[in-house]
Structure 1
Amino acid sequence: MYLFSPGYTTSKPIIFLDYQTIQTQSYSDVADNSGARKSMCIRVLGTGNRRYAGTGDVTIAVVKEAVPNMSLKRSEVVRAVAACTRKGIKRCNGMIVGFDDNAAVVVNQEGNPRGTRIFGPVARELRDYNFTRVVSSAPEVL
């Protein structure tokens, strides 16, 4: 996968390989304080009939577990971006970065997070997909 960083004027792209690991019916932890704890992917957004999502892809998800007395309730349909995946990402320097679990961040239509805090590390590739608000509020970026 070739991805050009915004603001780059050179012809050399930033190259990384993202293994597609999240598919429909996949559960993932929610890594923000929007009120959801676990979500299940019901659709992968993108061009055509995509079956799998990787880090930085937006999915339609349903909330399976929720914190009581919060804005998001159980069985509510939301948009979520995959913040980190267990399979990992192969970067251009040969390093493969993987995480302990699949985690997603609930976002709105503009791509801004619905929660005010993000728990745990997120992948650096989210910045390339223009999720800068998610990256800036994360405690650690790997």
Structure 2
Amino acid sequence: MAARLATGHPVHLRAWRTFGELFGVMRQLANDAPYQDALLDADLANGTLTLLLADALENASPSEHRHLLHLRARARQEPHARTELRAALRTAQTVGTYTDRITALRRQACTLLDRLAPASPYRDLLHSLLHTSARQALGPTPAP
């Protein structure tokens, strides 16, 4: 609505809509961030297909894929399976590809924002929210 108030130009409106979608995705990813304690993670407990899980499934071998789906199903009822699923989602490969995706989405949103909005405290605030969302989406750093 704010974009519509600011401009009636169809190209600018589409660009703002795209920014809004990217911003919404980044905030949802922050919301999906894994809890420090897998037992408290509602997404694992209710079987939500988060981007982290989707990324792990996409990059898994067929046997790993089946194992992750099995853990996902069990995690809805079994706290131990939730902990095991969390560990499976924190492998170096999965964390690396997920980090790359989050970074690419953040960069795309920031670049688009810089094209659409002149420098201002409002643009700075949106940048800050995008950076914070990316950090939150990545969750706690796994122990070495």
Q: TM-score, normalised by structure 2?
A: 0.24
- Please say which structure displays the higher CA radius of gyration: 2
Q: Which has the higher helix share?
A: 2
Higher relative contact order (CA 8 A, sep 6+): 2
